[in-house]
Structure 1
Amino acid sequence: MPQDRIKTIGRSRIQYGPLSDRVYLMQLAAGEAEAVITAMAELAQAEGYTKLFAKIPGKNAAVFEDAGFEIEAQIPDFYADGDKALFVSRFICKNRRRSCDAERIQKVLEAALKRAGAGIRHPLPSDWDLTFMTADRAEQMAALYSRVFDSYPFPIFDADYIRHSMDENFRYFGILQNATLIALASAERIESGVEMTDFATAPKHRRASLAAHLLAAMEADARQNGVKTAFTIARAVSYGINIMFARAGYTFGGTLVNNTNISGRVQSMNIWYKPLAPCPSNG
């Protein structure tokens, strides 16, 4: 199945397509809420998509709620002006609102919250190298993503896409063992926040807490670049990724039901967020 596509509506940006069977408003420009909602609904009707999904400033909540959207998750104090970020959805098909994984999702969340703030479990081996990734490793990065994921909402299996994303607002970090890439993640700058995403670890190293070390490195980098809030959109059925964010001090922000095609099927996703204290000055 082809990757979902990205396009602009006015100055706003959406992603849409059959892979995740949705229209996703990724960035809403000021003054465009009503026009974008109309365009999203028309596109979903024309293509038969079953969910409209949007990340919006809290000040736009009423417009979206009047149009049939409901709040699924939120991040307080996300935007530069102090407004919260809301994740809102309109379910066009009632079956899309029902999660077949609801019981497991609740158990995962309970397990994660029990470990809140516990920190990193294992030290990184001294002979492994955690490093900022550059474009010359894009082929190696795409290969690792292809090994780890059966499907993904963005074309991370394509080295050209990775190179292009580096030229925009993505910063990738990886862990090397004897020059071989064994773990990878990215930090995407979004407004005054940063999304910690694209975590992938080679199967034989999945018990080494490598993702937690990558997360810590990306947080430090984000602080140095003046980012005030970190967040993630994590697979709600995954014990490992949810526990990792809880251990790292992230707060649960809500569940996006049947939202994203990842690892072979459309899955529900959890929002976790964390305020990033600024780096102390050297003066």
Structure 2
Amino acid sequence: MVSNQSFSVTALMEKEDFHIEPISRRIKVYELPDEISESYMKGLHAVAEEMDCDKIIVYVQTGSDAETTVKDFSFQQEAEIKGFFNGKDATIYASFLDQSRNLPDPENVISDVKAMNVAECKKRKLQEGYSMIWGTEEHAEEMAAFYASVFDQYPTPIHDPEYIVQMMRDDVYFSLIYHEGELVSACSADLFTDFNAAEFTDCATLSSQRGKGLLSIQYPMLEKKMRELGVHTMFSYTRAISMGMNIVAAQQGFSYGGCMVQNSTIATGLEDMNIWYKAL
């Protein structure tokens, strides 16, 4: 016999705001049910164990009853995104099923970035020989090969062209930069339609093209599109050990929101990710 609580967890898994992400061994819940019981939390942890996920991440509205409840269940605060929930602030909490994962990377560059007092950069222009376009489904094969050449590991199967096509159909907007016919840089805005928020993500540039500000050129185009779609807040997960990406976030007017410990499988393996956010 299936209990009511088991049914509720199963139903939750089918919701769009419940994400099981096996590559990074994590579960993300963007919206918890109105009533969060002990049996519900046990069920959530059971799902994580069954799916071989040892980190559960929940987004809750700051100051809400849900925030009090997740604290009572020993979730720890990792970050915040102001304005995430249709203009209302979100606090991000995590529960680690394996405490060996709850070890921050001492190589996080955020202290150095803060010490720089990075100023917002003026809008840059592409140099001669470069062009910027919106990615379409026709670019999926080329994009998949491009991402595979940049990342040995990535939190999503972005090396798969079919996955990229599905992303585009699910409100993910890609910008692409070409140099003399070669795709050299790309990034995206992943639209969270229920919350009027969008994630600045999937940022990649060929090593031979780095240092030219190509991501800083693409971001304003993505931001303009998100504004047109009524997005309240942009946010980004940046690799905590990447000086360049954290500086880009600061230069584009983002505010630092905290660090997600051993959060995403990318490049070297499980890495800490710094959260940045910006009100539009």
TM-score class, shorter-chain normalisation, is 0.7 to 0.9
Distance 1:142 1:45 in 2: 31
What pairs with 1:129-208 in structure 2 (closer than 5 Å)?
Answer: 129-190=131-192, 191-208=195-212
Report the Cα offset of residue 273 of structure 1: 0.6
Distance 1:41 1:134 in 2: 38
Report the Cα offset of residue 64 of structure 1: 1.5
Q: What amino acid sits opposite 1:85 in the alignment?
A: A
Aligned to 1:219: 223
Distance 2:52 2:160 in 1: 27
Q: Secondary structure at the match of 1:76?
A: strand
Report the Cα offset of residue 112 of structure 1: 2.1
Q: Secondary structure at the match of 2:253?
A: coil
Which segment drifts farther, 169-178 or 62-71? 62-71
Aligned Cα root-mean-square deviation (Å): 2.2
Are 1:61 and 2:62 counterparts?
no
What pairs with 1:58-137 in structure 2 (closer than 5 Å)?
Answer: 58=62, 59=64, 60-80=66-86, 82-99=87-104, 101-102=105-106, 104-105=107-108, 108-113=109-114, 114-119=116-121, 123-137=125-139
CA contact 2:124–2:217 (8 Å) conserved in 1: no
Distance 1:196 1:92 in 2: 28
Q: Secondary structure at the match of 2:156?
A: coil
Report the Cα offset of residue 11 of structure 1: 3.0
2:254 pairs, out of 240, 250, 255, with 250
Instruction: List per-residue Cα deviations over 1:237-282 (Å, max 9, x = no partner).
Output: 1101001101111100000111111113000100001111xxxxxx
Q: What amino acid sits opposite 1:78 in the alignment?
A: F
2:31 pairs, out of 25, 28, 33, with 28
Distance 2:213 2:246 in 1: 13
CA contact 1:115–1:243 (8 Å) conserved in 2: no
With structure 2 as the length reference, what TM-score do the two structures score? 0.86
Q: Secondary structure at the match of 2:23?
A: coil
Distance 1:47 1:225 in 2: 35
Aligned to 1:239: 243
Residues 1:193 and 1:48: Cα distance change in structure 2 (over 3 Å):
closer
Residues 1:266 and 1:20: Cα distance change in structure 2 (over 3 Å):
same
Residues 1:125 and 1:18: Cα distance change in structure 2 (over 3 Å):
same
CA contact 1:122–1:208 (8 Å) conserved in 2: no
Residues 1:260 and 1:33: Cα distance change in structure 2 (over 3 Å):
farther
Q: Secondary structure at the match of 1:152?
A: coil
Aligned to 1:50: 54
Report the Cα offset of residue 94 of structure 1: 2.2
Aligned to 2:274: 270
Q: What amino acid sits opposite 1:97 in the alignment?
A: N
Q: What amino acid sits opposite 1:164 in the alignment?
A: Q
* Identity among equivalent pairs (%): 28
Distance 1:170 1:252 in 2: 23
Which segment drifts farther, 220-229 or 230-239? 220-229
Q: Secondary structure at the match of 1:77?
A: strand
Residues 1:134 and 1:195: Cα distance change in structure 2 (over 3 Å):
same
Residues 1:47 and 1:138: Cα distance change in structure 2 (over 3 Å):
closer
Report the Cα offset of residue 120 of structure 1: 5.2
Q: Where does the alignment leave 5 or more consecutive residues of structure 1 unmatched?
A: 1-6, 277-283
Distance 2:151 2:123 in 1: 25
Instruction: List per-residue Cα deviations over 1:203-232 (Å, max 9, x = no partner).
Output: 100111111111121111111221111110
